[in-house]
Amino acid sequence: MGVSRMIIAEHTPYEAEEIDGVTRLEWAAAPYRGRLNGYLSGQVFLREDPELLPGKLDALFARDFYVGFKTHTDHWKVPIDDPRFEPMWEYANAHRLPILLHTWTTEFASPKLLREILPRYPDAFFVLAHSGNRDRFIIEELMEEHRNVYFEWAGSFVNPEDWRPVLDRQGNQRLVWGADGVTWEHRWGHSPAWEMGRFLSMGLSDQRLLPMLGANMQRILDQRR
């Protein structure tokens, strides 16, 4: 498929003490430095003493493997707006990091839960995975008000509507292509080849498609501080 770099996240969460030193994901990806980077699971904010987190995060991110955070609040049965995630928003905002958020039409992961959060963290990048499932229209509302909100493509089959009108309205600078992968423990996932096939089959020019396949994400990563 021509993918030269991937940012990956683990499905299995870390216990608090497991982010002291090199993590499992960081260790496994070490032979592929430059091709694989990681999102740190936001579940650590549910398990770790918030007073200890800043120093641990500084050590993790200083090694330049982790580039942001990932949440999957449906699996955790915790809503996105749970106050325990505030240190994650604050850290991402301070360092201009992306947060890849599993969004879905549920009480735990609907993008509407971000309405009170987004205005407080304008320097973090909120990349909304699966484009909100059936709540895609809510993301468009959020994008109109906040320049740091992005669509993410994975799971596009759950929302079969034509994407071209969305790109006509929002442009092609705030959508990033992505796909789920098969996990070792669960052996399920969305096919990256299918996701790429649907994306390339929209009937749009290469000029419109190419930024969403890499440049938009790279622009986010380049703003880290």
Query: Are 40 and 10 within 8 A, CB to CB?
Result: no
Q: Mean pLDDT for the chain?
A: 92
**C-alpha distance from residue 41 to each of 68, 102, 143, 155 (Å):** 9, 11, 24, 19
Pairwise pLDDT comparison (79 vs 51), residue with the higher score = 79
**C-alpha distance from residue 147 to each of 95, 139, 144, 151, 198 (Å):** 17, 12, 7, 12, 26
For residue 36, pLDDT over 90 is answered with yes
pLDDT > 70: what percent of the chain? Answer: 96
Q: pTM here?
A: 0.95
DSSP annotation of 26 reads H
Q: What is the mean pLDDT of residues 130-145?
A: 91
Please tell me the predicted confidence (pLDDT) of residue 186.
56
Q: How far apart are CA 158 and CA 68, in angstroms?
A: 25
